[in-house]
Structure 1
């Protein structure tokens, strides 16, 4: 067989040859911008030529600090196109973590949205390796600054629209770099090779995965700084999919309006986004029937949310599971052909799980006595391997704690049913051990969310003298139910579903539950808040 290298530039070159008329829709501060793929690719070549002109060399890191828009998409291909490494930086991290990440990666150039210029003015002196900032502004002129800056639009006009991408790339060379969201310790870097990105995108196009195709209009709401927006921007360009990029500070109203206006068929986001989206479309009617499916990841979505999408709006709800270390998608929750003959409740229970493996990925689940039984009951830690699963962290001694004997130890506790469908029960550090028995915080959270009064729920473990740990539930009520629904009512609701020893010792009502930068519950911070509450009480 021919030894053809699987590279990111070849993906864009396919779009250039076959899908030049297709469209990228990008929301900016000045409204909607529309580019054909032909226009986008010319701009991408201009950007790649200018990056080379200012001295970016093969293997060097180029950071991006930006929202979801077409300029960011151009960087997705321009940076790997010259053999450099695209480093998408999480804009929601605190300034100390941002400094750590940029210095650890040794970024040479950073492309950033203009709104973040004040942040970089405040930290620039701490970034000795950064030589230039490319400001992706929608304005004609940049504000006064002492930083070494270029105006993106003016600057790329000096580049060559026919600039050639590097032709001798090896598929194992690094193309991307992303850091974990740092729930404990400093963020850890994960390098994505050209081959990993290519094969991961191919998996997204499989009919039993996301099924992304040329006929779709895809909107990645998940940020482009978070695991490459789950690979959707790369895959969409390769497949010739119309892309809708929702821009900065994306609201539920923005999401619903874009779905309606652009006839979006596939959108991807975390559960919190879909909770808010449901509230928006319940307040005001939008035409969202173009959606064939939504992709949900980051954490488990409540069954009540899945039910509403499926029953009320006839929109297929697809759970996906993955992590920064897995590029990220490794499982998708799809019904098998014979499961469509089952009743709706059965199907809903399947869809509430995280799904079965995407072709190309392998798994093991290890419990206290070795590999667990696929009975949907026994719990164990999920281990993964595959061509888009990392084998180590980037220049980090913590590698040996996570990568062992060719497997990624995910830290996620799961069950596996007889169909091979996994269900995330908890993180290893969040599972509650009470009197020698395990309690799943995720199961309790999903049950609470099913109550009509509950907007969000997070369950944590607190130390207990007799039982080692006990669960405490933290709940945000919907506005209409605040001051009306009591903790006793919610406990009675849970008592119908769980054994008595599973029930939380207390339910605390909160205005907001702390979250990580990618929308997951920040249980470490919440535990501190709860313990402080009881100490003061």
Structure 2
């Protein structure tokens, strides 16, 4: 016997029908490079998205074609988020922080036919344009466009527009694609279906997720060119929340100014971003009124206790999270359940630093060579996940071993799960340090080092050792005006870890290299250690 319910398609047009019917006057605010603001509404953006969809169709874009963007966070980029999937084409956001060689590889591997690019990013485009498959290029910006390129505003002005909300699309057809950050090799393509993006938006909007509603104002500090801006453009549209887009080269002061002027209630970003915000707040604690800001999500890398405490010192409410491009991308959120909230303050503080519980329609398990491990918060293994918005394969079929025969995705993270169900990422499998047959977590050491008042950033990597096979070496960036010493930091770590965990060497540096998504680029640190002679110091 089958249920007698409608087969309602879960598609981006379905989200936009709701947005247009219920929330047409909610605000979309974009910051320009000069700091000025462009103000629009969902109705305005949807009208322009219709005209963009008509222009793309007239240019020969068909269902399944990949349309790439190379853009900052602004309303024109949001128009592509709405228009491209509703034509049946596939939105592919290129990460503008990647090396031009990597961009050329990704655009070619994806088969991008058309590119929409910000005029400010044309110099970057020229470094790989001749190695990319773009048949047509549309430029967003004022003034005359380079020969052979099309002007975005002219295309929209000349387009009659087409319907994008009442479109019959297969919910399992591709809507968007992103590439991983490539920390373990060449970037891999993840293709999201309409169904995936709708269910991800619904899961994020739930009360135990981002808890977003029509009354929220969302500051999209996370880049729209990476992992769908953590799904915020679609989640906010789904619930009718206002969207604040910080434009090109946003810094901490620009974000705080927007948070105050627009009454921001929610934002999300990587720890590096919030470290900058914290430094600005510490320098001028009375400058900004952030009283409406109810939730600030930290993801992309582990949040340190000092960062969490620092933000709370300014009456902000940080929440940890974990995710991956393969998860569309939000996987867990560090909210306290009623059971966790009833624990002692010390126990609550430990739990709040964990990435948290899985979102709706997402499952986690941890396995090692012996199979599934107990959820005791101690035993470690490789984290695997499955769910309604988890990738089932990579574009082109790369690395099939990342997917198990029983339908789970192998994340490559070493993790444990405690009795309350809270996930703790212990390390990436490639970053875990095996010393004398025992495991050392680089993530745990990094978090403890960054909890020292004199440390701004810290990264820990393994180096080969003749006796112990591997030993940890720490790279430390001191806070401005601070000069922590090696023995001082080792003594600080010794209060938390056994002696054999402590780094054999602490290298003081002016900065730590990062990937395009803000994660520590540990391969570069290993190269720096490998390039020196025996006993030689490492350049800061």
Q: Same fold (TM over 0.5)?
A: yes
Superposition CA RMSD, Å = 1.4
**Are the aligned partners of 2:219 and 2:267 in contact in 1 as well (CA < 8 Å)?**
yes
Q: Which residue of 2 aligns with 1:218?
A: 218
**Cα distance, 1:185 vs. partner?**
2.6
Q: Which residue of 2 aligns with 1:191?
A: 191
**Cα distance, 1:402 vs. partner?**
4.2
Deviations 1:449-499 (A, max 9, x none): 011100000011101111111111100001211xx3211111111111111
**Are the aligned partners of 2:402 and 2:411 in contact in 1 as well (CA < 8 Å)?**
no
Q: Which residue of 2 aligns with 1:425?
A: 426
CA distance in structure 1 between the partners assigned to 2:385 and 2:184 by the alignment: 21
Q: Does 1:302 align with 2:307?
A: no
CA distance in structure 2 between the partners assigned to 1:166 and 1:38 by the alignment: 15
**Are the aligned partners of 2:392 and 2:403 in contact in 1 as well (CA < 8 Å)?**
no
**Are the aligned partners of 1:392 and 1:403 in contact in 2 as well (CA < 8 Å)?**
no
CA distance in structure 2 between the partners assigned to 1:402 and 1:487 by the alignment: 43
SS of equivalent to 2:129: helix
**Are the aligned partners of 2:53 and 2:161 in contact in 1 as well (CA < 8 Å)?**
no
Question: Aligned pairs, how many?
Answer: 529
**Are the aligned partners of 1:380 and 1:413 in contact in 2 as well (CA < 8 Å)?**
yes
CA distance in structure 1 between the partners assigned to 2:245 and 2:124 by the alignment: 24
Unpaired segments ≥5 residues, structure 2: none
Q: Which residue of 2 aligns with 1:235?
A: 235
Q: Which residue of 1 aligns with 2:280?
A: 280
**Are the aligned partners of 2:340 and 2:420 in contact in 1 as well (CA < 8 Å)?**
no
Q: Does 1:289 align with 2:291?
A: yes
User: Residues 239-258 of structure 1: matches in 2 within 5 Å?
Assistant: 239-258=239-258
**Cα distance, 1:165 vs. partner?**
4.8
Q: Which residue of 1 aligns with 2:40?
A: 35
Q: Which residue of 2 aligns with 1:133?
A: 137
Q: Which residue of 2 aligns with 1:48?
A: 53
CA distance in structure 2 between the partners assigned to 1:276 and 1:535 by the alignment: 36
Q: Does 1:271 align with 2:271?
A: yes
**Are the aligned partners of 1:432 and 1:439 in contact in 2 as well (CA < 8 Å)?**
yes
**Are the aligned partners of 1:317 and 1:351 in contact in 2 as well (CA < 8 Å)?**
no
CA distance in structure 2 between the partners assigned to 1:405 and 1:370 by the alignment: 13
SS of equivalent to 1:531: helix
* More divergent stretch after superposition (301-310 vs 229-238): 301-310
**Are the aligned partners of 2:333 and 2:358 in contact in 1 as well (CA < 8 Å)?**
yes
Unpaired segments ≥5 residues, structure 1: none
**Cα distance, 1:510 vs. partner?**
0.3
**Are the aligned partners of 2:54 and 2:162 in contact in 1 as well (CA < 8 Å)?**
no
User: Residues 58-97 of structure 1: matches in 2 within 5 Å?
Assistant: 58-97=63-102
Q: Does 1:386 align with 2:387?
A: yes
User: Residues 126-205 of structure 1: matches in 2 within 5 Å?
Assistant: 126-127=131-132, 129-137=133-141, 139=142, 141-143=143-145, 145-146=146-147, 148-161=148-161, 163-165=163-165, 167-205=167-205
Q: Does 1:528 align with 2:532?
A: no
The normalised TM-score by structure 2 is 0.96
CA distance in structure 2 between the partners assigned to 1:441 and 1:268 by the alignment: 25
Q: Which of 109, 113, 120 matches 2:114?
A: 109
CA distance in structure 2 between the partners assigned to 1:395 and 1:162 by the alignment: 32
**Are the aligned partners of 2:13 and 2:164 in contact in 1 as well (CA < 8 Å)?**
no
**Cα distance, 1:121 vs. partner?**
3.0
SS of equivalent to 1:516: coil
**Are the aligned partners of 1:270 and 1:519 in contact in 2 as well (CA < 8 Å)?**
yes
Deviations 1:144-169 (A, max 9, x none): x23x2111112211123563456220
* More divergent stretch after superposition (412-421 vs 300-309): 300-309
Structure-2 change in CA distance of 1:179 and 1:296 (3 Å): same
CA distance in structure 1 between the partners assigned to 2:409 and 2:207 by the alignment: 26
**Are the aligned partners of 1:326 and 1:388 in contact in 2 as well (CA < 8 Å)?**
yes
**Are the aligned partners of 2:83 and 2:164 in contact in 1 as well (CA < 8 Å)?**
no
**Are the aligned partners of 1:49 and 1:160 in contact in 2 as well (CA < 8 Å)?**
yes
Deviations 1:430-465 (A, max 9, x none): 000011111111111000001110000001110111
User: Residues 316-331 of structure 1: matches in 2 within 5 Å?
Assistant: 316-331=317-332
CA distance in structure 2 between the partners assigned to 1:118 and 1:493 by the alignment: 46
CA distance in structure 1 between the partners assigned to 2:322 and 2:437 by the alignment: 29
**Cα distance, 1:219 vs. partner?**
1.0
Q: Which residue of 2 aligns with 1:100?
A: 105
Deviations 1:157-195 (A, max 9, x none): 112356345622000000001011112332110000000
**Cα distance, 1:534 vs. partner?**
4.9
* More divergent stretch after superposition (159-168 vs 177-186): 159-168
Q: Which residue of 2 aligns with 1:489?
A: 488
* More divergent stretch after superposition (174-183 vs 153-162): 153-162
Q: Does 1:19 align with 2:23?
A: yes
Q: Which residue of 2 aligns with 1:517?
A: 516
Deviations 1:50-90 (A, max 9, x none): 00011100110000001111000000010001000000111
**Cα distance, 1:123 vs. partner?**
2.7
**Are the aligned partners of 1:307 and 1:348 in contact in 2 as well (CA < 8 Å)?**
no
**Cα distance, 1:536 vs. partner?**
6.7
Q: Does 1:373 align with 2:378?
A: no
Structure-2 change in CA distance of 1:53 and 1:536 (3 Å): farther
User: Residues 370-519 of structure 1: matches in 2 within 5 Å?
Assistant: 370-481=371-482, 484-519=483-518
Q: Which residue of 1 aligns with 2:346?
A: 345
Q: Which residue of 1 aligns with 2:14?
A: 10
**Are the aligned partners of 1:402 and 1:410 in contact in 2 as well (CA < 8 Å)?**
no
**Are the aligned partners of 1:83 and 1:166 in contact in 2 as well (CA < 8 Å)?**
no
CA distance in structure 2 between the partners assigned to 1:351 and 1:520 by the alignment: 21
The normalised TM-score by structure 1 is 0.96
**Cα distance, 1:400 vs. partner?**
2.9
